[in-house]
Structure 1
Amino acid sequence: MTQTAQTHNGTARDAAEIGELLGHHTAVTLAGKLLNLRPMTFGQLPKVLQLISPLLADLDRENVDVTQLVLNHADRLVPLAALLTGETQEWVDSLPLDDAADLVATLIEVNADFFARRVLPRLSARMDRLAGMSKSSAPAATTDQTPASGPVSSVN
């Protein structure tokens, strides 16, 4: 249901989207434990970026091979999965490989959706607005409209 009533800072639809975002979770059972996975928080972002920066080339592909990702980057994915699940690194480290691959795939899905649908479009819109503001506030270039004249000679 879409509402269009005005609220203090936007529409009720915006408030519903924020509520949906904050309440969004994906439930997965791994090693007999039910996990409710949510998109990363703002506070987690610096550590997440630090951990995934070497993986970005592998994550930028259209079809991510999660098993290869786990095999090639387990040293970064274990602390990343622990951070994003709230579980200990020891628990993540003890997962069978197929459960670890499922966990990583689910974390990618949960957070890729968050960035692709929420953060990037809003960030892009703000950057466009900033670019427009800087163009309109930049001093206008002035051109000298006086006609060009030939060499000046003095008559004595």
Structure 2
Amino acid sequence: MTTSDLDVLVPQAQSLEIAGQSMTIRPLVIGELPAMLKSVRPFAEQLTGEPDWLLLLGEHGDALLAALAIASRQPRDWVDALALDDAITLATTVFEVNADFFVRRVAPKVGALAQSLNGRLAGATPSPA
């Protein structure tokens, strides 16, 4: 097993400097998952590959900023005050550190749920008027 294989199995923390503050982004822990899942649900399917952070911010800004606050373990007002380039750096780092959570767990489950609902809706017959 190579180091990169180990990084996939055991996500590694990343240190960075954002808005003049040194911080370490660590993988999410179980107690953070309920709030994080609620935050990313509106845009989970868009978290595959290389997300378009500006599009996500435009379409799901409040949910994305809430997710960044949770994952960075910073107050929401701190995240809200970030410059755009710092916010994108933070989002990219959060995504990289928690890629297993986003890509392998959240996005497929949201996609499977959507397919299941679409199948149910397609099979439903309209009720008589």
TM-score bin, normalised by smaller chain: 0.5 to 0.7
Structure 1 residues 113, 63: CA separation in 2 closer, same or farther (over 3 Å shift)? same
CA RMSD for the aligned pairs?
Answer: 2.6
Residue aligning to 1:65: 52
Q: Secondary structure at the match of 1:64?
A: coil
Give the distance between the partners of 2:82 and 2:102, measured in 1 at CA: 27
Q: Which runs of 5+ in 1 are unaligned?
A: 3-16, 121-156
Question: CA 1:116/1:74 → structure 2, altered by over 3 Å: closer, same or farther?
Answer: closer
1:46-81 per-residue CA deviation (whole Å, 9 max, x = no partner) reads 111111011112113x33212222232220122211
Paired with 1:115 and 1:64, the residues of 2 have a C-alpha distance of 11
Matching residue within 52, 57, 65 for 2:40:
52
Cross-structure match for 2:66? 79
Q: Does the C-alpha gap of structure 1 residues 64 and 84 become closer, same or farther in structure 2, counting only changes over 3 Å?
A: same
Bigger radius of gyration: 1
Letter in 2 for 1:29: E
Alpha-carbon separation, structure 2, partners of 1:91 and 1:57: 26
Q: Which amino acid aligns with 1:44?
A: E
Q: Which residue of 2 aligns with 1:90?
A: 77
Compare the two structures and name the one with the higher helix fraction. 2
- What residue in structure 2 maps to residue 131 of structure 1? none
Pairing of 1:1-156 with structure 2 (within 5 A): 21=10, 24-60=12-48, 62-113=49-100
Which structure 2 residue ranges, 5 or more long, are not aligned? 107-129
Asked if the contact 1:51–1:76 (Cα under 8 Å) also holds between the matched residues in 2, the reply is yes
TM-score by length of structure 1 reads 0.56
**TM-score normalised by L of structure 2:** 0.66
Identity %: 36
Do the aligned partners of residues 114 and 77 (structure 1) sit closer, same or farther apart at CA in structure 2, a change above 3 Å counting? Answer: closer
Instruction: Output the CA distance in 1 between the equivalents of 2:33 and 2:97.
Output: 14
Larger RCO, structure (CA 8 Å, separation 6 or more): 2
1:70–1:104 CA contact under 8 A, matched in 2: no
Structure 1 moving runs of 4+ over 2 Å: 113-117
- CA distance in structure 1 between the aligned counterparts of 2:102 and 2:84, rounded to whole angstroms: 27
Amino acid in structure 2 at the alignment position of 1:94: A
Distance 1:114 1:78, change over 3 A: closer
